[in-house]
Amino acid sequence: MNHIKARIEALRKLVDEIKNAETIFERAALFAGIRGLADNLIDDESLNDFAKEKADNIRYHSAAALGLDFAGDHDAEAHLVWVYGDMDTLESAYD
């Protein structure tokens, strides 16, 4: 379980930087790290399905918040709020 907590902690640090990313390079680099950690969590067989869903949501909403994916009818700020909510839920499942 420690490896899961370590990934979640690293994911939190990256998610917290979304609001500070300005250039396309910063946004793309940040998303690459988020995507990699989220994918690792999703692929981890010891993670429950609810937590995997949250990791998938974090990946999607991060991309939209960073302007790197389709945001639907919502702005980047809305996706950022959803990223933080999913992150909080994921963290609380593994505290």
Parent domain of 57: 2-93
**pLDDT 10s digit of each residue in the chain, 95 long?**
568 999 999 999 999 999 999 999 999 999 999 999 999 999 999 999 999 999 999 999 999 999 998 767 888 889 999 999 999 999 998 87
| Residue whose C-alpha is closest to residue 11's, from 49, 45, 57 | 57
Provide the token pair at 46: 């010891």
Interacting residues of 89 by C-beta distance below 8 A, sequence separation 6+: 54
The structural domain count of the chain equals 1
Residues 8 and 26: their CA atoms lie apart, in Å, by 21
- Please, what sign has the CA dihedral across residues 58, 68, 11, 21? negative
Indicate the pTM of the whole model. Answer: 0.91
Among the listed residues 5, 6, 8, 4, the one whose alpha carbon sits nearest the alpha carbon of residue 16: 8
What is the C-alpha separation between 46 and 84, in angstroms, rounded?
Answer: 23
Where do we find the tokens 């995997």? Answer: 52
